[in-house]
Each structure stands twice: as C-alpha cells, then as structure tokens.
Chains A and B, each alone.
Chain A
Amino acid sequence: MSRLDRTFADLHARDENAMGLFLTDGFPTPDATVPLLHALDRGEVDFIELGMPFSDPLAEGRPIQKASARALDHGVTMQDTFDRAEAFRTESDTPVLLMGYVNPVLKYGIDDFCRDAAAAGVDGLILPDLPPEESDMLTEAAAQHNLDLVFLIAPNSSDDRIRAVDERSTGFVYAVSVTGLTGSDLDGTPTVDQYLQRAQRLVQQNPLLVGFGIKTHEDAMRLSRHTDGFIVGSALINRIEELWDREQPPMEDRLSEISAFARRLKHGDPAPTA
C-alpha cells in the first residue's frame, strides 16, 4: 500500500476529506522550500504537490507562472527538487507528489527520473500535459518505482473519458474544477456541482480530488462535498508572495502564518488550536 493510499484510507476511516497543497519548489527562494513544507505539515496538510518549475507552464494562471519563473531565476534544477523532497522526507511521512510538465522529465530521462524521485521519497507524479494517451512511456517506470501516476479530468470530459482516466490513474483522480487555468475564478453556477456529482459516480477505483480556483475554506467545502478532498495552489502561492514581498514579518511569523493559512483552509476561520 502506497503512502498516498494509506493517507486516504486513514482519512476515509475518520470520515474526513483530504487537503492537498501545491507549492512550487524554489519559490519564493530555494532556502524557503523545506521550511515551508514543514509549515504546511504543521497546518495539517494531508499531501503535498511539489511543483517542478518549467519555463512554459501552459495550464497555469499568473500566480504559478510567476512562481515558476522566479524559481528558475534562482537556478532551480531537478536535482535540487529531489534534494529538497528528500530533506523533507527525512522528517515527515506526509505524501509528496511532484507536479509539473513533461519536458523536464523527458530531458532527465524517464527511468532515471522515476528512480531518483522514488529514492528521494517522492510518492507520485502529476503531469498535466501528459494525457493517458501519451503516457505509455512513463507508466512502466513509474510502477516499477512505486510512484503513483495521477491523471486529470475536466468539466468537458465525457463519461467514457472519466472512466478511462480512472482506469489509468493510481493514487487519485484529479478533477479540474473549471474550464480554465490554475487560479481561475470558480464557476458559481450549479454546473460545477453537476460535473463533480457525475465524476463521483464514474470514478470508482480511486479517490477523487478537486482542484483549480479554490481560494477559501468555503470554496473547499462547497466543492469537496462530492469528492474525497480538495487541492489548493494559487491561493497559497499568492499568500506566500504577500508575506515575502510585501508584509515581510520575521521568518518565524511567515511560516506560522502559512501553517495558520493551511488550517483555515481546512477548518475555516477562526482556526482551532492545533
């Protein structure tokens, strides 16, 4: 049983939803990444998506585009990302998935990438520009190194498509909430509920997680009614940017605010004492 499967099984047993948080590696600075991951841990995150920066991130809105560019300006390499994942892993058992675009993975070499990611304690991969049709090159290597491979569905995915994605995914199925980029505004209409209900009915083999556009606890609760949990990325990136670039309190306070931010997403405001 993978670390991710165990996490979902535990949550299921407690009848709780999962909270996944996305953080771009090397953002806002390379030194901040590992302390931020621990801050998320203290904020009761259930799993982490560590973003591998890419020069041309097609599915991202401005916040993650900018975070990615900033990490690359710091010279972040894939090896750095593995090193930081490993540093986090030595002190935490929270599942970590690497999320990013397929080209840097291809350049690193698929087998080497899977081997080194697994050695660093990474649990799975999410590559939004690698749909199931093109993923044969990766599935075997990922399975060999016990890496879960998460595929995505979208509001315009057909029923057959959703079933096929469920078939190919391990770990969970990632339901993109909106036809849009990360950080988009959520659709206020019943459409998103209907879509998630449909997805909930069709996804039978994996937990179903919803992401894109979730900014608050209320958003998270509304969308995760029909799912096994939710994922937040851009809103966290924006909060980090505010803390590092504008508010600039002492480092300790920045990190504790990030923990509080995560807890507020999960439990609402005011946050219960940890």
Chain B
Amino acid sequence: MPDPVTDAPFPSTSYSAPDDTGHFGTYGGAFVPEILTPVLEELRAAYKTYKDDPDFKEEFRHHLREYVGRPTPLSYCDRLTEHIGGARIYAKREDLCHTGAHKINNTIGQIMLATRMGKDRIIAETGAGQHGVATATVCAKFGVDCIIYMGAEDIERQRLNVERMRLMGAEVREVTTGSETLKEATSEAIRDWVSNPDDTFYIIGSVVGPHPYPMIVRDFHRVIGTETREQLKEVEGRETPDAIAACVGGGSNAMGIFHPFLDDEGVQLHGAEAAGQGLNGNHAATLAKGSPGVLHGAMSYLLQDREGQIELAHSLSAGLDYPGVGPEHAYLRDTGRVTYHPVTDEEALDGVKLLSETEGIIPALETAHAMSILPELARNLAEERGEDAVLVFNCSGRGDKDMDTIATHV
C-alpha cells in the first residue's frame, strides 16, 4: 500500500489505528462542544477525498521538495558515535527544514486542506513558537490571514519566534490566563474556533486534539520515517535501523518517524518526554506520571490532580511544556510498542552541549531530550546486537530559538 500523502512505500500493513471513529484503542475520539462536530465531519470528509487525490499529493510533494527543502539528510554522526562508543548513530535532519523544524511538513499539508475547503482565516496555537512560525510561514506563502495564540510566558522566552511570526504578517495574540503557556494557548484557539466555525481553519500543531487531527498530523509527518527508510537502505544496505529515538511533547515528530516502522518488530522505538526538574518535582512527563483523561478534545494520558483538574506542566523547553500527549502515544505506551523515557531539563541541556560539541549541530531544547537518551541506548544496542547496530534519532529542530535559555543555563 502506498503512503496516502507522499506515495512513498507504506510498509505498515497490520497496524491500522485509528478506527473509523478516531480511536486508538480506548484513546483518541472527539470530545468537543457540539458546534465543532459538523466542522470536524467536514474536515474528515475533505481529508478522505484529498489524501487520495493525485493533484493534492503532487502539490504536497512539490511544496515539500521546493519550499521545505526535502528530503532532509540522514547524517551519520561519526564523532558522536565515537564519543559514546556504541551503535552507529544517524541524525534525521529535520532541523534543516525551512523554518528550522519538522513542523512545516504538517502546516503545508493542513493549509492545502484549508484552502481547498474554502477557509480563508487560519488560527493556530504555539508553545515554543516553532508551530506558530511554521503556520505563519505557510499563511504568508498561501496569502491567508493568520492568528497565532501564544501564552504570555512563552512570548517572553521565545521572543525571536514572535518577531518572525509578526514579520510574516501573522497576528500573535497573547494569552494571559492560567499558566500562560501552551495549554491555555490551545484552549483559546479552540474557543476562537468555536466562535468562528464557518470561515476558520484550525491548524493544530501536533498529533493531539479531536479526531481526525492526530491522524492527519501524523500522516503529513510520515515523510520523516519514509525518507529515513529509503536513506538507510542507501547508506546501510537495510531499510530498518535497530532503534529510533525522538522527543515527545504532543508527539508529532515522533509519530512521523515511528509510524512507518510500527510493524517492524525488530526496530525498537524510544520516546523522550520532559521530566523538567525531575519526576518528583515540576515536570511534563505525561506518559510516566499521568493518567487517562480528556483534554482538548481527545482521551489520552494527562497530568491531572485527584479531582480531575488539569495540572500545570513544567519544562525548560516551551515545546514540551504541555500536560497532555497525543492519543496514539498513549496507545503505543500501553501496548508496549514504544518505550518512553523521562528526561530532565538538566539532562536535555547536556544533550545540547554534546551534539553541539561533537557534531556542530545545535539542537532545539525539545530535540535535546531525544539526544540525551542516546548514550545509554547506543551502548545497550551495541551490547545486544553488535557494533554494527544502527540508531537513528530525529533531530526535529534547530536550537537558535533557545540560545537565550541555553546561554543562561550552560
């Protein structure tokens, strides 16, 4: 079966989640106010039509190639590999995508859907600002109005991205309720959507939210994994690595690289989530410490108190600072297909340093969480599978936006 969007080989045949109603096992679904039910139905119908439409697929491929700069390289990290002393490590270079992170794969796909559906007003939420920038970028490119909801605290710590969005003509709306971070920005974006369901398209930035978003966002990011397969075949003579590591906030870059490998049982999949100041302190380790519940339209793991009130997440990385996680990750956690690792702020900062010094790549703080689980994984893999073991990590974004934070802490 070919990939519905990119026509790249689609090796997964037995894994078929979500079901028709958008459930990944008991997770996912669409827990939304009634006003959004017809809107989501319209989106499901549009996606069903366009994902198999040759013109749509050709245009998507065209933008990914000519605008985003795909395929992104799969860089062999020789000095990092040597430094750690274990499996051979490759970095899938999503940091080299236009705008500096994988996020734009999804915003290109969604704005193509939006314009075909006749929506001329785009809204989005952003935490680190990477999704906001990727949305503002495609709105400028497609000539559509763009409103970005962003928490006041995130505006403060991601100034550079705010300026980028404004330069490209987006209106950045400051959200001052609650924790003033991604959770509240998402709530405000949903409230805007409830108030303007006819003309507005909500470009969600991760594999979260009500059905069909977790599936759509994943599908637009699958290109990360399908390219990885092709590139590995070229450089290693085999399509599958021994393991893949990616960071997980909402979890879009991880789903993008994991999904084409879910049926390859020999491929270990590892997600790194933000443990902030540690699992006993303030953190955002939803899969390690959360429990199932409903937030922002989907059933998944959440950080919540005993009354079911949503708790505030903490991570030095604004992109991981969210008390929920994509429902597909909740499902993959429970089935055991993916192993999730909590990574503290401090460990992530060590990851930034290590990749910067050994490979000359300054990763985003989000990406650095995946980076910091590599040493242990690489050594274990070499022990279990030999020196030829291959470990791919998704270098999901570049660190320029985090330089202030990094400079303060390193």
Contacts and interface: CB of A to CB of B under 8 A. Distances in A.
Interface in A151-209: 151-158, 161, 165, 176, 179-181, 184
A184 B194 CA distance: 11
Given A102-B294, A107-B304, A58 B194 contact: yes
B279 interface: no
A118 interface: no
A138 B103 CA distance: 37
Interface string A101-113: 1111111100000
Interface in A136-152: 151-152
Given A103-B308, A156-B35, A179 B21 contact: no
B310 A157 contact: no
A56 B187 contact: yes
A105 B34 contact: no
Contacts of A108: 308
Interface stretch (B24-32, B158-166, B390-398): B24-32
A103 B187 contact: no
Contact of A129 (B31, B195, B196, B307): B31
Nearest to B196: A179
B34 A131 contact: yes
Nearest to B183: A56
Nearest to B293: A103
A107 B38 contact: no
Interface string A33-59: 000000000000000000000111011
Nearest to B31: A129
Contacts of A105: 308
A181 B195 CA distance: 6
A133 to B, nearest CB: 7
A103 B295 contact: yes
Nearest to A104: B308
B187 A133 contact: no
Given A54-B309, A55-B178, A106-B293, A176 B304 contact: no
Given A131-B32, A134-B29, A107 B187 contact: no
Contacts, number: 111
Interface in B278-311: 292-297, 302, 304, 306-310
Nearest to A66: B177
A78 interface: yes
B53 interface: no
Nearest to B186: A56
A72 interface: yes
A59 to B, nearest CB: 4
A104 B34 contact: no
Nearest to B39: A156
B232 to A, nearest CB: 40
Contact of B309 (A104, A158, A179, A184): A104
Interface string A61-104: 10001000100100001100000000000000000000001111
B408 to A, nearest CB: 30
Contact of B33 (A69, A152, A165): A152
Contacts of B255: none
Contacts of B194: 58-59, 179-181
A56 B305 CA distance: 13
B64 interface: no
Contact of A154 (B35, B191, B293, B306): B35
A268 interface: no
A153 B34 contact: yes
A180 B33 contact: no
Contacts of A157: 34, 37-38
B160 to A, nearest CB: 29
Given A104-B307, A130-B31, A58 B187 contact: yes
B197 interface: yes
B284 to A, nearest CB: 16
Contacts of A151: 34
A30 interface: no
B243 to A, nearest CB: 35
B30 A133 contact: yes
A65 B39 contact: no
A106 B191 contact: no
A179 B31 contact: no
A77 B310 CA distance: 13
B177 A103 contact: no
A108 B309 CA distance: 11
A128 B295 contact: no
B138 interface: no
B190 A184 contact: no
Contacts of A69: 177-178
Nearest to B179: A55
Interface string A210-221: 000000000000
A128 B30 contact: no
Contacts of B357: none
A155 B190 CA distance: 18
A156 B30 contact: no
B198 interface: yes
Given A54-B309, A58-B191, A78-B307, A129 B37 contact: no
Contacts of B177: 65, 69
A180 B302 CA distance: 27
Given A103-B294, A157-B37, 4 more contacts: A56-B178, A78-B308, A106-B308, A152-B33
26 contacts: A54-B309, A55-B309, A55-B310, A56-B295, A56-B310, A58-B190, A58-B194, A58-B296, A59-B33, A78-B308, A104-B307, A106-B294, A107-B306, A128-B34, A129-B32, A130-B31, A134-B30, A152-B33, A154-B34, A154-B35, A154-B37, A156-B35, A156-B38, A179-B198, A180-B195, A181-B194
Interface of A: 54-56, 58-59, 61, 65, 69, 72, 77-78, 101-108, 128-131, 133-134, 151-158, 161, 165, 176, 179-181, 184
Interface of B: 21, 29-35, 37-39, 177-178, 183, 187, 190-191, 194-198, 292-297, 302, 304, 306-310
